[in-house]
C-alpha cells in the first residue's frame, strides 16, 4: 500500500505537493530546488504530464527519480498524448519502477500548448484511464487479456473542479470516476470557501477523500489571468485587492497570509490539501507552519 493511501485510510489530514518537469535535461531547478523545499512536508508529490500541453520531460521519468530517492510520487497521466496501449504500458512500467499512485486526467487540448499542430489522441479520457487502471489492478488489460503479475495495489486518483459551472455535470462525472475506481480526488484550485463548502456538501456522500487544491496567488495580475483563462477558477476580489495594495516586497507575505486564512476555513471540510506552488515552493514550509500542518 502506498504511503498516500495509508495516510488517507488512517484518516490523517494529508498534504500532497506538485512539481512540473523541465523542458530540457537540466534537473537542478526541479529536483534540487522545487522538490527539496517541499519533500519533508508532503506525503506525496504529483509530477505533471506535459502540463498545459507544453512538451517536457515525461512524468514517468521524474516519478522514477523521486521513487529512487525514497520519495513518494504521484504519476499524472493525461489522455492527450497516448493511446490505450501506451497508457496501460506506462501504468505497468511505472509500477515496476516503484510508482503506486496514479492520477488520471483528460488533459488540455493540444491547441493550448507549444505543439498546436500535433495530433490530439484522446483515445481514452479521465474516466476511461481509471477504467484501464482498475482493469489492470484486477489482472486484465482493457482487451480482457490476462496479465503475468498483477499490480493490485495501484492507488487511483482523479481530479474534480469544485467551482465548475454547471456543477451537476461535474458531480455526474465525479460519480462516474468513482464507479471506475477513483480512490482519491485532488481538486482544481479554489479560493472561495463558501463554494468549496457547497461542493463538499454534495460530494461528501461519495465517501472518497478529497484534497483541496491550493494554488498560491502570487499577484493581482496572476489572479486576473486565472479568472480570465483558467476555467472553473474564480479568485474573489477580497483576495485580489490586498495583493494589489501590498508593496512588491510585502506581496509574498500578504499572499501567504491570504492562503493561510483560506486553508483554515476549508480544513474541517476535506481530507487534505494538494498544494501546487508553481515556482513558490520555498514558501510552502512557512505556509504550512502558519496553518499548524
Q: Summarize as ranges the residues that interact with another protein (CB under 8 A).
A: 84, 105-106, 108-109, 111-112, 120, 122-128, 131, 142, 159, 161, 164-166, 168-170, 172-173, 175-176, 180, 188, 231-232
Nearer to another protein, 90 or 281 (CB): 90
Minimum CB separation from another protein for residue 239, in Å? 20
Q: How far is the CB of 208 from another protein (least distance, A)?
A: 17
Considering beta carbons, is residue 128 or 255 the nearer one to another protein? 128
| Least CB distance to another protein at residue 99 (A) | 23
Measured from the CB of residue 127, what is the shortest distance to another protein in angstroms? 4
Q: What is the closest distance, in whole angstroms, from the C-beta atom of residue 85 to another protein in the complex? A: 12
CA separation for the pair 293, 263 (Å, rounded) = 10
Q: Diameter of the chain by CA atoms?
A: 61
Q: Which is nearer to another protein, 31 or 124 (CB)?
A: 124
Q: Considering the complex, what minimum distance in angstroms separates the CB of residue 285 from another protein?
A: 29
Q: Which is nearer to another protein, 108 or 257 (CB)?
A: 108
Residue 243's alpha-carbon distances to 82, 109, 147, 248, in angstroms, are 40, 31, 54, 9
**Residue 147 has what DSSP assignment?**
P
For every residue of 229-264, DSSP letters joined together read: HSTT----HHHHHHHHHS-TTTHHHHHHHHHHHHHH
Distance of alpha carbon 56 from alpha carbon 292, whole angstroms: 35
Length of the chain: 293
Q: Between residues 175 and 197, which has the closer beta carbon with respect to another protein?
A: 175
- Collapsing DSSP to helix, strand or coil, 66 comes out as helix
Three-state DSSP state, 163: coil
Shortest CB 253 distance to another protein, Å: 31
Q: What is the DSSP string of 159-226?
A: EE-TT-SSHHHHHHHHHHHHHTT--EEEEEE---HHHHHHHHHHHGGG---EEEEEE----HHHHHHH
> Among residues 122 and 206, whose Cβ is nearest to another protein?
122
Closer of 38 and 129 to another protein (Cβ): 129
Under the phi-then-psi rule, with left for phi > 0, alpha for psi from -120 to 50, and beta for the rest, what region is 53?
A: left
Amino acid at each position: 500500500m502506498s504511503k498516500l493511501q495509508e495516510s488517507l485510510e488512517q484518516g490523517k489530514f494529508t498534504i500532497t505537493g506538485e512539481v512540473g518537469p523541465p523542458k530540457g535535461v537540466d534537473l537542478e531547478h526541479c529536483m534540487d530546488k522545487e522538490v527539496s523545499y517541499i519533500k519533508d512536508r508532503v506525503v506525496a508529490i504529483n509530477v505533471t504530464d506535459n502540463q498545459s500541453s507544453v512538451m517536457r520531460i515525461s512524468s514517468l521519468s521524474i516519478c522514477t527519480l523521486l521513487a529512487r530517492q525514497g520519495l513518494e510520487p504521484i504519476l499524472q497521466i493525461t489522455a492527450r498524448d497516448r493511446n490505450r496501449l501506451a497508457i496501460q504500458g506506462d501504468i505497468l512500467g511505472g509500477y515496476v519502477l516503484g510508482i503506486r499512485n496514479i492520477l488520471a486526467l483528460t488533459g488540455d487540448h493540444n491547441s493550448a500548448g507549444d505543439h498546436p499542430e500535433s495530433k490530439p489522441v484522446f483515445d481514452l479520457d479521465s474516466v476511461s484511464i481509471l477504467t484501464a487502471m482498475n482493469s489492470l489492478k484486477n489482472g486484465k488489460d482493457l482487451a480482457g487479456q490476462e496479465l503475468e503479475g498483477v499490480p493490485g495495489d495501484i492507488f487511483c486518483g482523479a481530479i474534480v473542479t469544485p467551482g465548475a459551472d454547471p456543477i451537476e455535470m461535474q458531480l455526474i462525472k465525479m460519480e462516474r470516476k468513482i464507479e471506475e475506481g477513483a480512490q482519491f480526488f485532488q481538486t482544481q484550485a479554489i479560493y472561495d470557501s463558501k463554494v468549496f463548502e457547497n461542493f463538499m456538501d454534495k460530494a461528501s456522500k461519495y465517501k472518497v477523500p478529497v484534497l483541496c487544491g491550493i494554488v498560491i496567488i502570487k499577484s493581482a495580475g496572476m489572479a486576473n489571468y486565472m479568472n480570465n483563462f483558467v476555467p472553473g477558477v474564480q479568485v474573489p476580489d477580497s483576495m485580489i485587492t490586498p495583493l494589489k495594495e501590498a508593496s512588491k516586497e510585502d506581496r509574498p507575505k500578504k499572499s501567504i497570509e491570504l492562503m493561510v486564512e483560506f486553508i483554515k476555513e476549508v480544513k474541517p471540510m476535506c481530507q487534505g490539501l494538494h498544494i501546487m506552488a508553481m515556482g513558490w515552493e520555498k514558501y510552502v514550509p512557512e505556509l504550512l507552519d502558519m496553518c499548524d500542518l
